[in-house]
Amino acid sequence: NNGGNKHYITCDIPSVFNRVKVGGTHTRLQRGTRLQNVWEPLTKLSPQNKSAPETTVHSGHMSGADVDEKKKHPCHVCIKRFGTKQQLQAHIRVHTGEKPFSCSICKKTFTQKSSLNLHTRTHTGDKPYSCSFCSKTFALKFTLDIHTRTHTGEKPYSCSVCLQRFTQPSHLRSHNRMHTGERPYSCTLCEKTFTRKNNLRTHIHIKVHAGEKPHSCSICWKTFTQKSSLNLHIRTHTGERPYSCLVCMKGFIKKGNLDVHTRTHTGDKPYSCSFCSKTFALKLTLDIHTRTHTGEKPYSCSVCLQRFTQPSHLRSHNRMHTGERPYSCTLCEKTFTRKNNLRTHMVHTEKPYCCLICRKTFTQKGSLNVHKRIHTGERTHSCFVCKKAFHIKSSLNLHTRTHTGDKPYSCTLCKKAFALKCNLDRHSRTHTGDKPYNASIQLTPPLSPLIPHLQYYKYKYRCKK
């Protein structure tokens, strides 16, 4: 198009290019996506039209010798080569540790002027990059790009092993270490290793070693090792839940909690047990399950030396020694060692959620939603083996054990295993002789043996239609 002075060049990759700057670096536009510069300077023009290129060389087609010819400045320490002397000089500072650019406010130093310019924005508050979806602003273009993916759902980085996708290359690199077992970051105090540098920093500041918790909540005065942890905690007071599930609209305080919740809809269970091939949605759940095979109980009570598979079990156990009961009812002031016990106790409090069909009331909205399924017949949780459906996820989990044979509850005296905790408790009494139901103090009559007998035959001779 001579009228508009535009010249379209087709590369045999193939791609079409619509910007030409003779003698300079050319920018490729492909389907509207801005990519990095991939053209080397044009060296030849057509004799008919001096402004139109006749031939050019795509950097992707250049031989190794051609590329090396363009990078004439080698580093004498690591042999890496650079196209300009300025690039080489900046690189050498990596080896020498020289940081000639200093912040005039906080005196922090940098190897490059551009890094200092970006740092200065932390003092000035300058955030020139704005999100087109929510108008949130950012100091870095890279940070804006990552944020935008929370709106678009784009995850451009894919694991070559399990095909899990990620929004950031750093997340993919950390994920890959789960497959390779690489843990490159180690604590110099206790030699514990980590897959991510941030986890090491947290571990050190966590004050596993220092004990320092400099960030304090102004409402309840609870202290935290990190500012980000405090910000998350404050949401428990404000009720803010900025991350919402697109399927059921349930809100979450943390993005990680939303990601985990989403798996309840998708059924995704990316973590597999190497012993029995059982799969799990959470890495933590896999680790705990694996201990049922290995018998490992890494958490030990310092008082009685009893061992536990989970840190939460150890914390609850320690309260038996200390007498600590941190969870208290706001109505009757009764205290509890565990939060779940408090929740169970709260049944005597207000029940603001009422079923419109049978008028039964509930303390929690989630309990009402589960109850409604009795009326609607909705069974949202289905067994992958026999397709039997259940009202609640926990019932499905218990049912699944009939297929897998999983019996996670084991008697410490005779090693007999059970699928249900209540069955283990009942069995344990055959060893201890414990008879917890005393007629003199029992408010309701004991369960008659006739009742389960009748229930059995009612089930056995039920109508098959």
Confidence (pLDDT) at 316: 86
> How many angstroms separate the CA atoms of 11 and 316, rounded?
67
Confidence (pLDDT) at 28: 32
Give pLDDT tens digits for 111-152.
Answer: 888 888 888 888 888 889 999 988 888 888 888 998 898 889
42 pLDDT tier (thresholds 50, 70, 90): very low
Collect all residues with Cβ–Cβ distance below 8 Å to 125 and sequence separation of at least 6.
none
- Asked if 244 contacts 251 with a C-beta cutoff of 8 angstroms, the reply is yes
Confidence (pLDDT) at 61: 44
What tokens does 369 get?
């939603």
> How many angstroms separate the CA atoms of 146 and 125, rounded?
20
- Asked if 175 contacts 155 with a C-beta cutoff of 8 angstroms, the reply is no
Give pLDDT tens digits for 376-408.
Answer: 888 888 888 898 888 888 888 888 888 888 888
Give pLDDT tens digits for 279-322.
Answer: 888 888 888 888 888 888 888 888 888 888 888 888 888 888 88
Helix (H) or strand (E) holding 94: helix 85-96
Bigger pLDDT: 420 or 4? 420
- Looking at the predicted structure, is the pLDDT value of residue 11 above 50? no
Collect all residues with Cβ–Cβ distance below 8 Å to 18 and sequence separation of at least 6.
6, 8, 29
Bigger pLDDT: 180 or 208? 180
- Looking at the predicted structure, is the pLDDT value of residue 63 above 80? no
353 pLDDT tier (thresholds 50, 70, 90): confident
Confidence (pLDDT) at 319: 87
| HSE value, Cβ hemisphere, 13 Å, CA-based, for 51 | 9
Domains of the chain with CATH codes: 9-70 (no CATH), 299-431 (3.30.160.60)
- Residue 161 burial by Cβ neighbours in a 10 Å radius (0-12, 13-18, 19+): exposed
Q: Minimal CA–CA distance to 56: which of 77, 81, 38, 68?
A: 38
Bigger pLDDT: 1 or 392? 392
157 pLDDT tier (thresholds 50, 70, 90): very high
Give pLDDT tens digits for 421-447.
Answer: 888 888 988 888 877 766 554 444 545
Confidence (pLDDT) at 105: 84
Percent composition of the chain: helix, strand, coil (DSSP 3-state, to 5): 40, 15, 50
> How many angstroms separate the CA atoms of 206 and 216, rounded?
14
Collect all residues with Cβ–Cβ distance below 8 Å to 261 and sequence separation of at least 6.
245, 250, 252
Confidence (pLDDT) at 38: 33
Angle at 150 between CA 145 and CA 151, to 5 degrees: 95
DSSP string, 346-386: GGGS---EE-TTT--EESSHHHHHHHHHHHH----EE-TTT
